[in-house]
Every structure is written in C-alpha cells, then in structure tokens.
Amino acid sequence: MTQAAECYTRMESPVGELLLRSRDGALTGLSMSPWKGGTNLDGFRRDDDALAPVVAQLTEYFAGTRTEFDLALAPQGSPFQVEVWRALCEIPYGTTTSYGALASSLGRPDAARAVGLANGSNPIGIIVPCHRVVGSDGSLTGYGGGLHRKRWLLEFEASVRPDAALPLFAHA
C-alpha cells in the first residue's frame, strides 16, 4: 500500500495569505489567515510545484480573468456536506443565493439551517464559493474567512461581471 501524497503551499492574495492543501493531486483545503482551527500540517510536505495549477487559477481569479475553476477537488465531509459543497459550485459567478434557496434546490426546503452548517464547514473556500450564500434578506451572514472577506469577494465578482451581479438572488 502506498502512502498518500499530502502536500501544501501558501500564496498571497488580495484577501490575505492562503494555505492550500492537496492529497494525491486533488485539492482538499483552502484556508485563509488567520487559520481557522490552526495549521496542523503534520504529514504534509511543502510542494509549490504540485499546487502550481491551483495557484495559477486563483491568480487568474483574482485578476478578474477566471470565473470558473477547473481543478480536481476532494473535500472531506459527510455525504450531506459534500452534496451542499457540490451545489455551491453551481452558483454562478457574480451572483448570490440564500441558504433557504440552496436547501430547496437540494430538495430539502426545510434544511436551510443544515445547509448553513455545511456551508460553514466548507474546507475549500473561494473555489467552492460558499461566499455566494447570503441571508434571505440579502444580508451578509457568517463566513469562516471573516465577513470583510466575504464582502470583498462579492464586491470583486460584481465589479468583474456587473451584468451577472443583479438581481441579488438570480440563482434562487
């Protein structure tokens, strides 16, 4: 049996330093400083080359030239969490949706709170765009990277694609 190749790199971004983690070539984590839950990298080795495609796509995103990511993702979570994280990837760039609308799109209209908890556990911020989920009244609600980053990401996407940014709940 071969040992899994777990690696990491760090990159600077307009929202601060990002910590990227992968396993066997698939992205498993994107964290923003200060690191939520710490930075336990036991068993990981730094490998900038292995994560260069992720850094390149994030660089393009922050330059406003990439609106979709094309990366192998392997977030670890419960089946429900993974289902929510897949649904997050379907929210179009420059738009938002509510927790309730996302729950309804999953066929679970009474699960807005559970969707919110799964959203908050998203281990691959930005690329799995949990920042695009807002309160039913359009308010910015919790974000693991901090509300200031959520606001920045939403305003940035709206500035890149002003045609897609409105109406607020275009995906609802």
Q: Using CA atoms, how far apart are residues 15 and 92, in angstroms rounded to an integer?
A: 21
Q: H or E element: which one contains 119?
A: helix 112-120
- From the CB of residue 85, how many other CB atoms can be counted at a distance below 10 Å? 21
pLDDT band at 140 (very low <50, low <70, confident <90, very high): confident
Q: Tell me which of 91, 112, 118, 130 is the catalytic residue.
A: 130
Residue 37: is its pLDDT beyond 50? yes
**Architecture of the domain made up of 79-165:** Orthogonal Bundle (1.10)
Sheet of strand 18-23, all strands in order from the earlier edge strand to the far edge = 26-32, 18-23, 6-11, 45-46
Taking CA 69 as the corner, what is the angle to CA 50 and CA 26, rounded to the nearest 5 degrees?
35
Q: Using CA atoms, how far apart are residues 80 and 85, in angstroms rounded to an integer?
A: 9
Fold of 6-63: Double Stranded RNA Binding Domain (3.30.160)
pLDDT band at 9 (very low <50, low <70, confident <90, very high): very high
What's the chain's average pLDDT? 87
pLDDT recorded at residue 18: 95
pLDDT recorded at residue 130: 94
pLDDT recorded at residue 3: 46
Q: Which of 54-58, 117-121, 156-160 has the highest mean pLDDT?
A: 54-58
Residue 143: is its pLDDT beyond 90? no
Query: Would you kindly state where each structural domain of the chain is located, as residue ranges?
Result: 6-63, 79-165
Instruction: Report which DSSP code applies to 98.
Output: E
pLDDT band at 142 (very low <50, low <70, confident <90, very high): confident
Concerning whether 130 is annotated as a catalytic residue, the answer is: yes
Lowest mean pLDDT among 56-70, 87-101, 144-158: 144-158
- From the CB of residue 114, how many other CB atoms can be counted at a distance below 10 Å? 16
